[in-house]
Amino acid sequence: MDKQQNTENDNLVWGTHPVHELLQTRPRSIQEILIQKNKTGKTLQAIIELARKEQVKIKFSDELRVAGGKRMNHQGVIARVMAHETLNDRAFFNLLSSTETPFVLALDSIQDPHNLGAIIRSAAAAGATGIIIPKDRSASLSGTVAKISAGALAHIPVCQTTNFVRMLQKLKEMGIWIFGTIKEGGNSLYKTDFSGPLCLVIGGEEKGLRPLVKEQCDFRVTIPMQGKLDSLNASVAAGILLFEIIRQKAAKEEN
């Protein structure tokens, strides 16, 4: 056994809950699991037992460190995984075609992995059908994203597309309404009808929706602000919008 195990930061998932979720949902994506010998706990023991059952390679070390000196709260376990599996455009549209009322989240240029992970977690909790991200204008689906999503990344389909605008156009051709979020000047989300198949588009942290993306939106929605601040963090805004959508859908089902 290694006295000290160094790991590269790319394609890592760390923390007991995210690693356990990954083992339960996608064990074949794990190349190996690294465990710190002096760590204990029920979830960590469950990880060891499940990894052995799934025949996933385990290495025990006195200490876990990440190459480059980056600190992480790994809780004594790190999984080295293959690149997160995403759907191509065709597979994603096949998924939507088999869904009665698609509820899609499209993320335009979310660059912060913490924001991306938090949004993925909210989308999974809200029951979104799937998420669309651009290949070149997004944070990668890294270990940080998986950690922040608290395991949700393993439970929601993600489509990584090379043509974000064209994807929105195809959604419209399928009869899915496109709702774009803007800082001000849009219709209040509390006065917007989110019934039916829809795609909610969240813009980047600094510039919001790109002009070409904004042109594809059937509706533009704004979160009313009451205090002195005039904007919200992208992940906070996404959470508010997502759960207003499911509130409306639930209310409609009750009537």
Say whether both 159 and 202 belong to one domain.
yes
Burial class for 197, CB neighbours closer than 10 Å (0-12, 13-18, 19+): middle
CA separation for the pair 77, 246 (Å, rounded): 35
Q: Residue 202 — very low, low, confident or very high, per pLDDT cuts 50/70/90?
A: very high
Say whether both 121 and 243 belong to one domain.
yes
Say whether both 59 and 108 belong to one domain.
no
User: What is the enclosing helix (H) or strand (E) of 164?
Assistant: helix 164-173
Say whether both 119 and 68 belong to one domain.
no
- Tally of domains in the chain: 2
Say whether both 124 and 179 belong to one domain.
yes
Q: In sequence order, what are the beta bridge partners of 7?
A: 66
pLDDT of res. 210? 94
**Does residue 232 have a pLDDT over 90?**
no
Say whether both 183 and 239 belong to one domain.
yes
Domain range holding 219?
89-254
To which residue do tokens 């393993």 refer? Answer: 154
Say whether both 70 and 175 belong to one domain.
no
Cβ atoms < 10 Å from Cβ of 83: 11
Which one is predicted more confidently, 71 or 253?
Answer: 253
85-139 pLDDT per residue, tens: 789 999 999 999 999 999 999 999 999 999 999 999 999 999 999 999 998 888 8
Cβ atoms < 10 Å from Cβ of 106: 26
Task: Assign 3-class secondary structure to 89-122.
Answer: HHHHHHHHHCCCCCEEEEECCCCCHHHHHHHHHH
Say whether both 38 and 109 belong to one domain.
no
Q: Residue 4 — very low, low, confident or very high, per pLDDT cuts 50/70/90?
A: very low
Backbone angles phi, psi at 227, to 5 degrees: -95, -160
Q: Exposure string (b/e) for 30-40, b if CB count within 10 Å is 16 or more?
A: beebbbbeeee
15-65 pLDDT per residue, tens: 899 899 989 988 878 889 999 998 889 999 999 999 999 989 899 988 887
Which one is predicted more confidently, 85 or 186?
Answer: 186
**Does residue 80 have a pLDDT over 70?**
yes
Task: Give the residue from 64, 81, 98 where a domain finishes.
Answer: 81
Task: Give the residue from 81, 107, 122 where a domain finishes.
Answer: 81
- How much is the mean pLDDT over the chain? 87
pLDDT of res. 242? 96
